[in-house]
Amino acid sequence: MKALIYTGPGMPSWTDAPQPEILDDTDAVVRVDAVTICGTDLHILKGDVPEVTRGRILGHEAVGRVTEVGAAVRTIAPGDRILVSCISACGSCRYCRDGQYGQCLGGGGWILGHRIDGTQAEYVRVPFADNSTYRLPEGVSDEEMVMLADILPTSYEVGILAAGVRPGDTVAIIGAGPIGLAAIMTARLYSPKHVIVIDIADSRLEAALKFGADTVINADRQSVRGLVAQMTDGLGADVAIEAVGTPATFEQAVQLVRAGGRVANVGVHGAPATLHLEDIWGKNLTITTGLVDTHATPTLIDLVANRQIDVAPMITHRFSLDDFEDAYRVFSTPGDTGALKVVLTRHH
């Protein structure tokens, strides 16, 4: 088969790889029908994720058909159309028993395209298949569902649910990339009073308006704190969601919330940020961090199937699997290409 192989920092290569096989009796092998590229894959290509070694097949998001299952797999069978989640779950460790699959101690967690070969391939082996895949209903497309492998549950669980967004809240979302846009969409489920989105790229702020932001602020040209204060009678936002992953945007998120406010960090950070306790020690803030668990994936599948959220507009570019290297080029230069999410399919 063909697969997208990490060859060290720089562009990966779409090339021949061995066909995956069942190794454990809880495995499934899945034919990949739709797959996407994540911002995390770009971090890997920069060499920021040292556990990923040369020769690794990348990718942790896919929709496909089961071709083979191990003897212990009970809930899926060959021919089933399934979502392969970015998080695998052993199902029996103390974290899995608590629904915190991202922290799995039994060999799961984020392993696909990280510690084992991933989904950017014609076929993928999925460990702990019963707990790491979801059978898909009729009436939803492969490309919609692949948005639910990582970005939607990440924004929803680590952003909206962790921050406890409530009706009437003013929600400030910092960063209008795919994660920020998914946060707008899922914040809207809770009837917030305002969804304010902050970025420095006008094209992304325009996208934020289409996804349901009612106010956008360009942080290069406008006073973020001033405008948020104006909209909240000087109090600050009820909730701030950090969806960038830099020290400056984290510190801004903490500054933007009112006393008693909640800050949810979703961004992946590579450098220390300063927590200004001298300013906030008495402000009753809640600050949360997290890796997605994907416990909300069944809910999100229902929301898409019932047309309560529309994830299709996140997809700006489509490719066939054979054009994987082009897809990486487009996805890694969003300033030039306007790319939000790219989807690659078997039959394009």
* Interface with Zn ion (CB under 5 A): 38, 40, 90, 93, 96, 104, 106, 108, 150
Tell me the sheet residues that pair with 63: 34, 83
Given a contact cutoff of 8 angstroms between Cβ atoms, the answer to whether 14 and 329 are in contact is no
Given a contact cutoff of 8 angstroms between Cβ atoms, the answer to whether 319 and 344 are in contact is yes
Give least dist CB 291 to Zn ion, A.
10
Give least dist CB 75 to Zn ion, A.
16
In Å, how far are 20, 110, 161 from 116, measured between CA atoms?
Answer: 11, 9, 29
Give the pairing of strands 170-174 and 237-242: parallel
269 vs 283 by CB, closer to Zn ion:
269
Closest to 28 measured CA to CA, from 101, 63, 78: 78
Give least dist CB 105 to Zn ion, A.
6
Residue number with the smallest Cβ distance to Zn ion? 38
Given a contact cutoff of 8 angstroms between Cβ atoms, the answer to whether 261 and 237 are in contact is yes
Give least dist CB 341 to Zn ion, A.
11
Give least dist CB 191 to Zn ion, A.
29
93 vs 344 by CB, closer to Zn ion:
93
104 vs 147 by CB, closer to Zn ion:
104
104 vs 165 by CB, closer to Zn ion:
104
108 vs 261 by CB, closer to Zn ion:
108
Element (H, E) at 194: strand 194-199
106 vs 164 by CB, closer to Zn ion:
106
Give the pairing of strands 194-199 and 286-288: unpaired
40 vs 345 by CB, closer to Zn ion:
40
Give least dist CB 154 to Zn ion, A.
7
38 vs 314 by CB, closer to Zn ion:
38
Cβ neighbours around 302 below 10 Å, total: 13
Residue type, 280: I
3-state secondary structure of 145: helix
100 vs 252 by CB, closer to Zn ion:
100
Give least dist CB 282 to Zn ion, A.
37
> What gap in Å lies between CA 254 and CA 25, rounded to an integer?
47
Element (H, E) at 126: strand 123-126
Give least dist CB 84 to Zn ion, A.
12
Q: Could you tell me which residues come within 8 angstroms of residue 288 by beta carbon, excluding any fewer than 6 positions away?
A: 158, 162, 163, 262, 263, 264, 265
Given a contact cutoff of 8 angstroms between Cβ atoms, the answer to whether 175 and 267 are in contact is yes
Give least dist CB 112 to Zn ion, A.
10
∠ CA 141-180-308, nearest 5°, is 40
> Which of the 8 DSSP states describes residue 105?
S
